[in-house]
A and B are shown apart, each in its own frame.
Chain A
Amino acid sequence: MTKEILLGDEAVALGAVHAGLTAGYSYPGTPASEIMEYLIRAARTAGTFVAAWSVNEKTAFEEALGVSFAGRRALVSMKHVGLNVAADPFMSAALTGVGGGFVVVVADDPSMHSSQNEQDSRFYAQFAQIPCFEPADHQEAYDMTREAFDLSERMNIPVMLRLVTRLSHSRAGVETGEARPQNGLKYGDRQCWTLLPMNARAQFKRVLELQLELVKISEGSRFNTLELNAADRSLGVIASGIAHNYVLENVREGAKKPSVLKVATYPIPEALVRKLVAHVDTVLVAEEGFPLIERSLKGLFGIPGKTLIGKLSGHIPPAGELSPESVRAALGMKPLERQAPSEFKPAGRPPQLCLGCPHADTFKALNKALEGFTKSNVFSDIGCYTLGYFPPYNAINTCVCMGASVGMAKGAAEAGVFPAVAVIGDSTFGHSGITALLSAAASHTNMIAIVLDNCTVAMTGGQPTFASGDRLLKIIEGVGVPKDHIRVITPLPKFHEQNVRIMKEEIEHSGLSVIVAARECLEETRKKNKRK
Chain B
Amino acid sequence: MTTNRKQDIILAGVGGQGILSIAFVIDSAALKEGYNIKQAEVHGMAQRGGAVQSHLRLSKDRIYSDLIPRGEADLILSVEPLEALRYLDFLRPGGKLITSSAPFINIPDYPDRETLIEQVRRVPGSVVIDSEALAKEAGTSKAQNTVMLGAAAKDLVVSQDGLREFIRVLFAPRGEKILESNLKAFELGRRAAL
Contact = CB atoms under 8 A, between A and B. Distances in A.
B92 interface: yes
Contacts of B48: 351-354, 384, 387, 459
Contacts of A34: 43
B44 A31 contact: yes
Contacts of A342: 85, 88, 119, 122-123
Interface residues of B, number: 53
A113 B50 contact: no
B3 interface: no
Interface in B119-136: 119, 122-124
Contacts of B85: 342, 344, 346
Contacts of B49: 349, 351-352, 354
A338 interface: yes
B66 A350 contact: no
A524 interface: no
A30 B47 CA distance: 12
A348 B88 CA distance: 15
16 contacts: A5-B27, A7-B41, A34-B43, A113-B42, A171-B27, A172-B38, A249-B65, A338-B70, A339-B95, A342-B88, A342-B119, A346-B111, A351-B46, A351-B48, A354-B48, A459-B48
Interface string A42-81: 0000000000000000000000000000000000000000
Contact of B38 (A171, A252, A460): A171
Contact of B70 (A3, A171, A325, A460): A325
Given A248-B64, A351-B50, A5 B31 contact: yes
B67 A166 contact: yes
A152 B63 CA distance: 31
Nearest to A242: B66
A337 interface: yes
A114 interface: yes
Contacts of B41: 7, 169-171
B89 A338 contact: yes
Given A169-B40, A170-B39, A245-B64, A349 B69 contact: no
Among A3, A166, A171, A353, the most chain B Cβ lie within 10 Å of the Cβ of A171
Contacts of A242: 65-66
A410 interface: no
A78 to B, nearest CB: 14
Contacts of A324: 65, 67-70
